[in-house]
A and B are shown apart, each in its own frame.
Chain A
Amino acid sequence: MKEIVIISGKGGTGKTSIIAAFASLAENKVLCDADVDAADLHLIMNPEIQERHDFASGHTARINQEKCTECGLCRDLCNWNAISEDFVVDEIECEGCGVCYYFCPEEAIDFPLNTCGEWYLSETRFGPMAHARLGIAEENSGKLVSLIRQEGKKLAESRNLDLLITDGPPGIGCPVIASLGGAAAVLIVAEPTVSGRHDMERVAELAAFFKVPAMVSVNKFDLNPEQADAIEAFAREKNVEVMGRVPFDPAFTKAMVQGQTVMEFDQNSEGGEAVKRLWTNLSEKLEL
């Protein structure tokens, strides 16, 4: 079983629209949405949820006012200034380190486990899908990313499917790092802008740091062909395989508005044709 993770560094480069098109093209696969912070793939896949599970991770301190003697030790120890003058814990600021809970001389602090999201196993018109939703303003997104990728793999194994297509998060921080380990390759969807190039370079560096083979596709390349050239030149220099370009095509947005993949909306559109070529290149590269 192979997993390809699609990331972008910069948000909004068209990563999810391209993955949706891959869903139309790929066979024998499981889809996995690991962009748990702002998961959008389900808006196109329209999954029928078969299993729903709570995601519990991390703890938050809670002060029991009846036991608290207001000695102030917890406020002194908290590195996040998460405890107010009247000894109430700010749940958003609390890091879940447990230092106040451990040291409170009155044992007045509880430290319950948080439920901070949900994850799902679903069926879609393109096959099975594993996806998740992190609660708003919650932490531990990296752990949820690791968990949903694991569940995606299990789902693929149980159905004898040999490919996992994972929608990764933007950025280069904890959830992205959690989306890389063990992947056969990452495909970086870049856009031909100064910021797209800057962000692509950083995320390519991250993939190299964790020794995951990287590939790149420049989306909307015709908005600035020189930037597209520069991104591909950088990629070749850094052993990031150049997999093919996709033009700016309003068909992607129109498809999204209708809840369709670009292949369903108009497979002969310029964008559709380009994604087909991209998928053919990827399949050859990954020996699918």
Chain B
Amino acid sequence: MIISIASGKGGTGKTTVATNMAVSLEGDVQLLDCDVEEPNSQLFIQADIEKQEVIHTPVPEVDMDKCTLCGKCGDICQFKAIVVIGETVLPFHELCHSCGGCMRVCPENAITEVGRELGVIGQGRRNGLEFVYGELRVGEAMSPPLIRQVREYARPEALTIIDAPPGTSCPVIAAMKGADFILLVTEPTPFGLYDLKLAVGAVKILGIPCGLVINRSDMGDDLVTQYAEQENVPVLMEIPFDRKMAEAYSRGEMIVTAMPEWKEKFQGLYHRIEAIVG
């Protein structure tokens, strides 16, 4: 089973929920940090990282000895990532989406693949928990290809927990698509509610069952709870604001370590999800 933990708004507690649920469960569990722009799970999990690999995406290189400047590569490219200028062809690697169109269309076979570095994928363990994270290279614009590569590590026989990026556009979709359940973490404020509605919209497009964790549940108003009732989105957990918890988080401590009574609550959260997914 794949549970993807997402939120429209950032900073609502996705990583807190993902990491604490992952370490609270027994058995074959893996945590994939797909918030590759700002991966934070490892700060809390502190897994022993066993392997790190630099990930590349293919981009074109042109052999000017073969090129006849026909311009077909520039015509097919939708992303202005390869352009014929005067007597030369300029590939703009950072704009390339790796569709392979230019290589395929070139009548002279003058285009070959080289790699653009997307970032790093690391793998490790914390006790029984398997942990994989992606970290986007600073300056790299495209996170979805790296997110998809991190997701390749999901094993069908395991329980896979995904820490997704914030927002509702392509990186989030890449981290949610194909999941069995989406757990949305929100806060009961006007910003939290507005972004939650966008996130629920995204989940509906994907047609995946979802539930809610309301973090800092006693700060703000009750409009999130009302919205959840209206939309039939079950509220699976509420975490009240607790300065002790916020301070523990600020030091990089997990809730279940600082306040062990929460372990059972995170197990309960998982069991409620299991009951919904069946």
- By a beta-carbon cutoff of 8 Å, the part of chain A in contact with chain B is 8-13, 16, 37-38, 40, 43, 58-59, 77, 79, 92-93, 95-99, 102-103, 134, 136-139, 141-142, 169-177, 191-196, 198-199, 202, 205-206, 209-210, 223-224, 227, 250, 253, 256-257, 259
Contacts and interface: CB of A to CB of B under 8 A. Distances in A.
Nearest to B13: A12
A205 B138 contact: yes
Given A9-B38, A97-B97, A102-B105, A259 B190 contact: yes
A172 B169 contact: no
A288 to B, nearest CB: 27
Contact of A202 (B38, B141, B166, B252): B38
B9 to A, nearest CB: 6
Nearest to A134: B169
A98 B76 contact: yes
A92 B37 contact: no
A99 B9 contact: no
Interface string B144-170: 000000000000000000000111111
Given A12-B11, A13-B11, 7 more contacts: A12-B12, A38-B168, A97-B79, A171-B171, A174-B142, A177-B139, A257-B220
Given A37-B169, A102-B76, A136-B202, A198 B138 contact: no
A136 B136 contact: no
B10 A11 contact: yes
Interface stretch (B20-28, B125-133, B228-236, B242-250): B242-250
Given A38-B195, A92-B206, A103-B104, A79 B99 contact: yes
B191 A43 contact: yes
Contacts of A193: 249-252
The dominant DSSP class at the B interface is loop
Interface of B: 8-12, 15, 37-38, 40, 43-44, 76, 78-79, 97-101, 104-105, 136, 138-143, 165-171, 173, 177, 187, 189-191, 194-195, 198, 201-202, 205-206, 219-221, 243, 246-247, 249-252
Contacts of B140: 173
B205 A137 contact: yes
A37 B40 contact: no
A30 B268 CA distance: 48
Contacts of B168: 37-38, 134, 136-137
Shortest Cβ-Cβ A-B pairs, 10 listed: A11-B10, A12-B11, A97-B99, A171-B37, A224-B250, A194-B252, A37-B167, A174-B141, A195-B40, A193-B250
A195 B33 CA distance: 13
Q: A8, A174, A176, A209: which has the most chain B beta carbons within 10 Å?
A: A174
Given A38-B9, A194-B252, A16 B43 contact: no
A256 B190 contact: yes
B76 A170 contact: no
A223 B242 CA distance: 11
Contact of B38 (A10, A98, A99, A210): A10
A253 B138 contact: no
A195 B220 contact: no
A173 B198 CA distance: 20
